[in-house]
Amino acid sequence: MNASTSTPAPAAIVVDGLRKSYGSNEVLTGIGLEVAAGEVVCLIGPSGSGKSTLLRCVNLLEEPSGGVVTVGGVDVTDPDVDLDGLRRRIGMVFQHFNLFPHLSVLENCTIAQRKVLKRPQAEAVEVARRNLDLVGLADKADALPAQLSGGQQQRVAIARALSMDPQLMLFDEPTSALDPETVGDVLAVMRSLAEAGMTMLVVTHEMGFAREVADRVVFMDAGVVVEQGPAAQVIGSPRNERTKLFLQRVLDPTHVRGDAAEGSEG
């Protein structure tokens, strides 16, 4: 983008002072984060750090307790926001695939197109088949989810989300429920989306993927952003001691210093 000759497009996602509490338990504490259009940002950190809650606040699966979230310039925390319209613009892929078990792969990828986007059946099928081909599952269109591996089901879930023509994609630990041998296929699909310029906000424990694909890595702990920057810097040369300890445990889980283990609360 040449800033001198054009007006920069609004950031795809802007999070400003985001707070989320469940009763007296404050899960997010004044989070600030921006994701540019076409950028891939990976959220990393220990379990319970607020990563998934942040992701779910972006499309209002969780209602923020305070702060502002905008998507494509639209304030999603505005009580009058068109929630259905917002969610049409955001694709989300969860840990668990949430496919309809009684519907075929093709039907899973067309039902929301027909009911939400009001697409004619023929067009919905064409879009679904194109996206199934994109994730390498064109030959599984007539299969039921139970006939697929976990990795295949997750790729169907990605194809289903893409079939809604989203402007950005949210991924909530999409490989955490998969067998190790199927993780690579899902990450390869996500890598191809990143290369095609899809805006992506990804909660992940896959440090290799984050290092290779992310434009920026954000480390969260205890409901705050502790450190963020280019993937090579945050993962390769973290500056914050908490980030260093987390990455040491993730990248070399068999080597945990005794003093670190004693100081850990999980």
In the chain, domain spans: 11-251
Task: Indicate the range of 69-78, 197-206, 234-243, 249-258 predicted with least confidence.
Answer: 249-258
Q: 11 pLDDT band (50/70/90 cuts)?
A: confident
Specify the CATH number of the domain 11-251: 3.40.50.300
Supply the pLDDT for residue 176.
83
List 2's β-bridge partners, or say none: none
Supply the pLDDT for residue 59.
87
Q: Which residues contact 222 (CB under 8 A, 6 or more apart)?
A: 29, 49, 50
Supply the pLDDT for residue 259.
45
d(CA 57, CA 45): 17
Nearest to 73, CA basis, from 37, 29, 124, 31: 37
Q: What would the mean pLDDT of 185-197 be, rounded to a whole number?
A: 89
Q: What would the mean pLDDT of 1-24 be, rounded to a whole number?
A: 72
Residue 68 is encoded by which pair of tokens?
């502002």
Supply the pLDDT for residue 9.
57
For 202, the 3-state DSSP assignment is strand
Average pLDDT, the chain: 86
- Residue 198 φ/ψ, nearest 5 degrees: -70, 135
Q: Which residues contact 185 (CB under 8 A, 6 or more apart)?
A: 136, 151, 152, 155
For 219, the 3-state DSSP assignment is strand
State which amino acid sits at residue 145. P
Q: Is the overall model pTM greater than 0.85, yes or no?
A: yes
Supply the pLDDT for residue 215.
92
**Residue 3 pLDDT greater than 70, yes or no:** no
**Residue 260 pLDDT greater than 80, yes or no:** no
d(CA 171, CA 76): 19
**Residue 186 pLDDT greater than 90, yes or no:** no
d(CA 17, CA 265): 27
Q: 72 pLDDT band (50/70/90 cuts)?
A: confident
Supply the pLDDT for residue 5.
45
Q: What would the mean pLDDT of 75-83 be, rounded to a whole number?
A: 86
**Residue 2 pLDDT greater than 70, yes or no:** no
Q: What would the mean pLDDT of 28-44 be, rounded to a whole number?
A: 92
Strands 66-71 and 74-75 come out as antiparallel
Model confidence over 44-71: pLDDT tens digits?
A: 998 888 899 999 999 888 999 999 999 9
d(CA 225, CA 50): 10
**Run of H or E residues at 154:** helix 150-162
d(CA 30, CA 7): 29
Residue 126 is encoded by which pair of tokens?
């064409």
Supply the pLDDT for residue 256.
53
